[in-house]
Structure 1
Amino acid sequence: MQPGLSFELSALQNEILEAVATGTDFGSVADVLCRRAETLAPGAICTIAAVDSEGLIHPVAGPSLPQSYGEAIDGIAIGPEVGSCGTAAYLGVPVEAIDIETDFRWNGFTDLVLPLGLKACWSSPIKSPEGRVVGTFAFYYSEPRGPTDMERQLVDTCVHLCSIAMERAEVSSKLQHLAYHDQLTGLSNRYAFDQELTQTMSVQQRRFGLLLLDMDNLKQVNDSMGHSVGDALIREIARRLASLGPGVSVYRLGGDEFAVICPRCDDADHLAMLAQRLLDRMEPACECDGNTIVPQVTIGGVVSKMDGISANELRQNADLALYHAKSTARGGYIHFHPGLRTAIQCRTEQTALLGKALDENRVFAHFQPVICIRRAKIVGVEALARIRTDEGEIISAGAFSMGLTDSKNAFRLASCMLEQIASAMRGWIDEGLGLRHVALNLSTVDFQRGDLEERLQAAFRRHGVPLSYLQIEVTENVLMDQSVASQVARLRALGLQVALDDFGTGFASLSHLKDFPVDYIKIDKSFVDSLLTDMACGAIVEALISMARKMQVGIIAEGIETAEQAERLLEIGCPLAQGYHYFRPVDSETIATLLRSVDGGKSRAVNGEAQLRTTA
Structure 2
Amino acid sequence: MLVYLQNLILEMVARGEELRATTDRLCREVERLAPGTTCSILAVDSDGVLHPVAGPSLPQTYNDAIDGLKISACAGSCGTAAFHRRQVTVTDIETDPLWADYKALALPLGLKACWSSPIVSSGRVVGTFAFYYRERRGPTDFERDIVAKSLQLCQIAFERDHRLRINERLLYTDTLTDLHNRACFEQALIEPSHGGSALLLIDIDDLKLVNDTFGHGTGDSLIRIIARRLADAAAPHRAFRVGGDELAVLAETGEVVPLAQRILEALRAPADCGGHVLVPSITIGAAIRSIDDKSGTVMRQNADLALYHGKEDGGRGTLVLYAPELRTRMNRRLRAIDQLRRAIAEDRIEARYQPIARLDNGEVLSFEALARIRERDGTIVPACEFHEAFADARNAAEVTRIMLRAVASDLRLWMDAGVAIGRIAVNLAPADFAHGRLVEDVQAIFAAAGAPLDRLTLEITESVYLSRRDQMVQRQMEALRRLGVKLALDDFGTGYASLTHLLFTPVDTLKIDKSFVDHLTDDGEAGGAAVINGLMRIAEKLGMDVVAEGVESVDQRERLVALGCKLGQGHLFAAALDREAVGVLLRTTPTCLPETPLPSSLRARRIRRRDRKDAA
TM > 0.5 fold call: yes
Kept in 2, the 8 Å contact 1:212–1:259? The answer is: yes
Partners of 1:485 and 1:20 in 2: CA distance: 62
Name the TM-score, length of structure 2 as normaliser. Answer: 0.81
Structure 1 pair 262–416 and aligned structure 2 pair: CA distance change class (3 A) = same
Partner of 2:397: 411
Structure 1 pair 142–316 and aligned structure 2 pair: CA distance change class (3 A) = closer
Give how far 1:437 is off: 2.6
Residues 232-243 of structure 1 aligned to structure 2 (within 5 Å): 232-243=221-232
Partners of 1:282 and 1:102 in 2: CA distance: 53
Partner of 2:612: none
Kept in 2, the 8 Å contact 1:247–1:262? The answer is: no
Q: Are 2:359 and 1:373 aligned?
A: yes
Kept in 1, the 8 Å contact 2:512–2:547? The answer is: yes
2:562 to 565, 571, 575: 571
Kept in 2, the 8 Å contact 1:378–1:435? The answer is: no
Partner of 1:318: 303
1:422-471 per-position Cα deviation (integer Å, ceiling 9, x unaligned): 33334455566554532222122112222223323333344455544332
Give how far 1:406 is off: 1.2
Q: Are 2:15 and 1:30 aligned?
A: no
Kept in 2, the 8 Å contact 1:213–1:259? The answer is: yes
Partners of 1:98 and 1:310 in 2: CA distance: 53
Partners of 2:265 and 2:63 in 1: CA distance: 44
SS at structure 1 position matched to 2:242: strand
Kept in 2, the 8 Å contact 1:182–1:252? The answer is: yes
Q: Are 2:367 and 1:386 aligned?
A: no
Q: Are 2:154 and 1:162 aligned?
A: yes
Name the TM-score, length of structure 1 as normaliser. Answer: 0.81
Aligned residue pairs: how many?
589
Give how far 1:87 is off: 5.0
1:400-423 per-position Cα deviation (integer Å, ceiling 9, x unaligned): 222211111112122222233333
Partner of 1:519: 508
| 95-104 or 423-432: bigger deviation | 95-104
| 520-529 or 257-266: bigger deviation | 257-266
Partners of 2:460 and 2:119 in 1: CA distance: 69
Give how far 1:604 is off: 1.2
Partner of 2:46: 53
Give how far 1:522 is off: 0.9
Give how far 1:12 is off: 0.7
2:10 to 17, 29, 33: 17
Partners of 2:90 and 2:200 in 1: CA distance: 60
Q: Are 2:558 and 1:544 aligned?
A: no
Structure 1 pair 171–343 and aligned structure 2 pair: CA distance change class (3 A) = same
Structure 1 pair 475–202 and aligned structure 2 pair: CA distance change class (3 A) = same
Residues 128-527 of structure 1 aligned to structure 2 (within 5 Å): 128=121, 130-139=122-131, 148-177=140-169, 181-189=173-181, 193=185, 209-219=198-208, 221=210, 227-246=216-235, 249-263=238-252, 265=254, 271=257, 275=260, 278-279=263-264, 281-303=266-288, 311-329=296-314, 331=316, 332-429=318-415, 433-463=419-449, 465=451, 467-481=453-467, 482-483=469-470, 486-487=474-475, 490-491=478-479, 494=482, 495-508=484-497, 517-527=506-516
Partners of 1:114 and 1:296 in 2: CA distance: 53
Give identity over the alignment, percent.
43
Structure 1 pair 66–262 and aligned structure 2 pair: CA distance change class (3 A) = closer
Kept in 1, the 8 Å contact 2:457–2:488? The answer is: yes
Structure 1 pair 215–109 and aligned structure 2 pair: CA distance change class (3 A) = closer
Q: Are 2:80 and 1:95 aligned?
A: no
Kept in 1, the 8 Å contact 2:77–2:99? The answer is: no
Partner of 1:39: 32
SS at structure 1 position matched to 2:366: strand
Kept in 1, the 8 Å contact 2:439–2:476? The answer is: no
Partner of 1:614: none
Q: Which amino acid aligns with 2:231?
A: A
Partner of 1:556: 547
1:14-47 per-position Cα deviation (integer Å, ceiling 9, x unaligned): 2222333444432333233233223334555533
Kept in 2, the 8 Å contact 1:307–1:317? The answer is: no
Partners of 1:343 and 1:523 in 2: CA distance: 28
Give how far 1:159 is off: 1.0
Partners of 1:289 and 1:427 in 2: CA distance: 56
| 535-544 or 72-81: bigger deviation | 72-81
Structure 1 pair 560–97 and aligned structure 2 pair: CA distance change class (3 A) = same
Kept in 2, the 8 Å contact 1:422–1:460? The answer is: yes
Structure 1 pair 73–496 and aligned structure 2 pair: CA distance change class (3 A) = same
Q: Which amino acid aligns with 1:138?
A: A
Partners of 2:393 and 2:51 in 1: CA distance: 56
Q: Are 2:117 and 1:124 aligned?
A: yes
1:302-344 per-position Cα deviation (integer Å, ceiling 9, x unaligned): 4456998995444433333333333323515444333333322
Structure 1 pair 281–426 and aligned structure 2 pair: CA distance change class (3 A) = farther
Q: Which amino acid aligns with 1:549?
A: E
Give how far 1:350 is off: 2.0
Partners of 2:27 and 2:220 in 1: CA distance: 47
Structure 1 pair 203–557 and aligned structure 2 pair: CA distance change class (3 A) = closer
| 282-291 or 140-149: bigger deviation | 140-149
Kept in 1, the 8 Å contact 2:78–2:88? The answer is: no
Give how far 1:500 is off: 1.7
Q: Which amino acid aligns with 2:382?
A: S
Superposition CA RMSD, Å: 4.0
Partners of 2:147 and 2:496 in 1: CA distance: 72
Structure 1 alignment gaps of length 5 or more = 1-7, 609-616
Give how far 1:228 is off: 4.6
SS at structure 2 position matched to 1:361: coil
Structure 1 pair 153–512 and aligned structure 2 pair: CA distance change class (3 A) = same
Partner of 2:586: 595
Partners of 1:100 and 1:326 in 2: CA distance: 68
Kept in 1, the 8 Å contact 2:195–2:250? The answer is: no
Kept in 1, the 8 Å contact 2:77–2:90? The answer is: no
Partners of 2:522 and 2:15 in 1: CA distance: 80
